[in-house]
Amino acid sequence: MFVPVIAGMIAPSLPEGGEELKIGDQAYVQFGETFYQPVELDGKVLYEIVEIKEE
C-alpha cells in the first residue's frame, strides 16, 4: 500500500540511505524529493516531513 507523504506528517524512524544536509542552521535528511526534519517529542527523536522551497 502506498501512502502519499504530506508536509507535517511525523515518521518514528527513517531507513538507512538518506542524505544528511544542512540548510541555514537546520539539519535535514533527504530521501529523493522528500525532506525530514528531526524533532524531539516526549524525549524521543522523530522526523517531520517538511516542504523545502527553492528560492
The pLDDT score that the predictor gives to residue 51 is 92
Return the amino acid letter for 15. P
Number of domains in the chain: 1
Q: Are 20 and 27 in contact (CB under 8 A)?
A: yes
The separation between CA 51 and the C-alpha centre of its own chain, rounded to angstroms, equals 9
Over its C-alpha atoms, the chain yields an Rg (Å, rounded) of 11
Per-residue pLDDT tens over the stretch 4-34: 789 999 999 998 999 999 999 999 999 988 9
- 52/9 Cα distance (integer angstroms): 14
Residue 30 in any domain: the answer is yes
- In tens, the pLDDT along 38-48 reads 999 999 999 99
Contact between 35 and 18 under an 8 Å Cβ cutoff? The reply is no
Domain extent, residue 34, equals: 10-50
